[in-house]
Every structure is written in C-alpha cells, then in structure tokens.
Amino acid sequence: MLRVISLLVLVAVFFIHACGPSVEREPPERPVEVLPLSAGKALYELHCVICHGNDGKLGLNDAGDLSVSELTLEERKAVIRDGVGVMIAYRRILSPAEIDAVARYTMKFKEEDTSEKLE
C-alpha cells in the first residue's frame, strides 16, 4: 500500500512540475478604431477649447499654441493621453480612438488647407 501511495505522489509531482508555471502574456494590441474628424472637433470643443481656444491660439494657463506647434501626431496623442505641465492626462477620460481623433483634429490648426474634411 505504501508503494502505491508513493507511486501516486511521484506521478502527481511529475504532472504538476510538467505543467510549469503559468506565463502571463500581454493581450494582443488591438488596432485603434478611427473616428471621423468631426468627433475630434466635438471632443476638442468639449475638453480643449477652454485653454487652447477655437483656433488653437488662446494659450490660457500656458496652453501651447497649436497653430505653431511642431509636435507630430504621435507626440500630440502622448500629450493628450499623459498630460503635460498643468494639462491633465486624458487617458482615463478619453478612449484611444477619441485621443487619436482629437490629435488629428488639432493638426488642422497648423495647416492652411486641411486634407481631411469634417464629416
């Protein structure tokens, strides 16, 4: 009987060891949904106009002048997502798709002719 119990314990230890520790994997990165530029405009008017103004030039509370900003689209998304200076981070307020839409909308302030029309 002792031999059977020892064999069962040995088999159980083998199977437990064979399974190994579970490896946590990051979920695959989902592509960001692309919202229309009109959604970016609406979100900008709701969250950003107070400091940046309708044309991006207001500069209230040291807000950057978006008409002369040299930030790339990705850099603008990072600023909106993470905040900078006294500007709050919007990562818990806006979805990645909404952050993308606002960033794309702000690019129009430095361009005279917008290639993407508001829908």
The DSSP string of 65-110 is -TTT----HHHHHHHHHH-BTTBPP-TTTS-HHHHHHHHHHHHGGG
Model pLDDT, residue 42: 97
pLDDT reading at 20 higher than 80: no
pLDDT, position 103: 98
More confident residue, 17 or 83: 83
For the question of whether the overall pTM of this predicted structure is more than 0.85, the answer is no
User: Which pLDDT band, with edges at 50, 70 and 90, does 19 fall under?
Assistant: low
Residue range 55-93, pLDDT digits in tens: 999 999 999 999 999 999 999 999 999 999 999 999 999
Domain extent for 60 = 37-110
Report the domain count for the chain: 1
Tell me, yes or no, whether 115 lies in a domain: no
Residue 9 domain-assigned? no
Q: Is residue 100 one of the residues assigned to a domain?
A: yes
Distance CA 52, CA 65 (A): 7
Q: How far apart are CA 119 and CA 112, in angstroms?
A: 18
Are 38 and 118 in contact by the 8 Å Cβ rule? The answer is: yes
